[in-house]
């Protein structure tokens, strides 16, 4: 194993030129902290990236998939996922009530936060009468079905937040956002319930890898 000059090791390089200059491999090696007797931190980091299919796959692989990589273990796998989650949370714009002027803006807000997970997560984005974000909430995990995306749960949290409208969303772990028959059934059911409750179902967005599907946009075609 070739030795990396001290000045070019990830920690020293970060101090010298800044975190933005480090490659994904180097940043991940810093999160891992140390390698093994046979494999340095950079080598273990490379094995992790290979197992995940790149840095964007780290969250999707999940804890068990990460700690099965040689030299990682549960502690380092947890450290990696914690770093991924911290990165996700720093994507917040700093604006308390961002405006959601279009479906594209909604999808752009949701995608980096909720698109890449190994299981489906169903959530609701609550908006006020001026299309400003009140908050988002994850309501269930698992395959989205009528029992996991029940109108009662969606509109209960929306009513408690005094929301004028909601965007429901879920991710497809396969990366393909094309809706299933069950997705369409759930959307129709939620739309009908919203009319009864007086809270508009603005859209149902399905998040894939780098793309999304909008029922509202489909209706406009």
pLDDT of residue 144: 61
Q: Left, alpha or beta for 61 (phi > 0: left; psi -120 to 50: alpha)?
A: alpha
Sequence-separated (6 or more) residues with CB below 8 Å from residue 135: 126, 161
The string of pLDDT tens digits covering residues 150-192 is: 899 999 999 999 999 999 999 999 999 999 999 999 999 999 9
The string of pLDDT tens digits covering residues 121-158 is: 899 999 999 999 999 988 888 766 655 678 999 999 99
The string of pLDDT tens digits covering residues 30-71 is: 888 777 677 777 887 888 888 877 777 777 777 777 777 777
Are the C-beta atoms of residues 212 and 104 closer than 8 Å to each other?
A: no
Q: Left, alpha or beta for 153 (phi > 0: left; psi -120 to 50: alpha)?
A: alpha
Domains of the chain: 6-89 (1.10.150), 103-220 (3.40.140.10)
Q: Which of 21, 42, 24 is nearest to 33 (CA)?
A: 42
The string of pLDDT tens digits covering residues 73-123 is: 777 888 887 888 777 766 654 556 788 999 999 999 999 888 888 888 899
Sequence-separated (6 or more) residues with CB below 8 Å from residue 10: 22, 26, 27, 29, 30, 41, 42
pLDDT of residue 27: 83
What SS3 state is found at 72? coil
Q: Which of 30, 115, 119, 42 is nearest to 79 (CA)?
A: 30
Q: Left, alpha or beta for 18 (phi > 0: left; psi -120 to 50: alpha)?
A: left
Length of the chain counted residue by residue: 221
pLDDT of residue 1: 46
pLDDT of residue 66: 78
Separation CA 184–CA 204 (nearest Å): 9
């Amino acid at each position: 194993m070739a030795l990396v000059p001290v000045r070019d090791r990830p920690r020293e390089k970060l101090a010298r030129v800044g975190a933005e200059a480090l490659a994904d491999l180097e940043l991940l090696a810093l999160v891992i902290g140390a390698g093994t007797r046979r494999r340095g931190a950079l080598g273990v980091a490379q094995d992790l990236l290979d197992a995940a299919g790149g840095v964007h796959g780290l969250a999707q692989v999940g804890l068990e998939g990460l700690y099965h990589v040689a030299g990682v273990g549960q502690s380092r796998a947890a450290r990696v996922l914690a770093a991924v989650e911290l990165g996700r949370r720093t994507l917040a714009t700093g604006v308390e009530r961002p405006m959601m002027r279009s479906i594209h803006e909604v999808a752009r807000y949701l995608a980096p936060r909720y698109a890449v997970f190994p299981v489906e997560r169903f959530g609701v984005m609550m908006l006020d009468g001026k299309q400003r974000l009140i908050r988002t909430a994850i309501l269930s995990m698992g395959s989205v079905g009528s029992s996991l995306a029940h109108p009662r749960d969606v509109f209960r949290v929306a009513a408690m937040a005094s929301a004028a409208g909601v965007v429901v969303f879920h991710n497809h772990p396969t990366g393909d956002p094309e809706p299933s028959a069950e997705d369409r059934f759930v959307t129709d059911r939620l739309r009908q319930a919203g009319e009864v409750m007086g809270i508009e179902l603005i859209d149902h967005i399905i998040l894939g890898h780098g793309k999304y599907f909008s029922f509202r946009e489909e209706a406009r075609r």
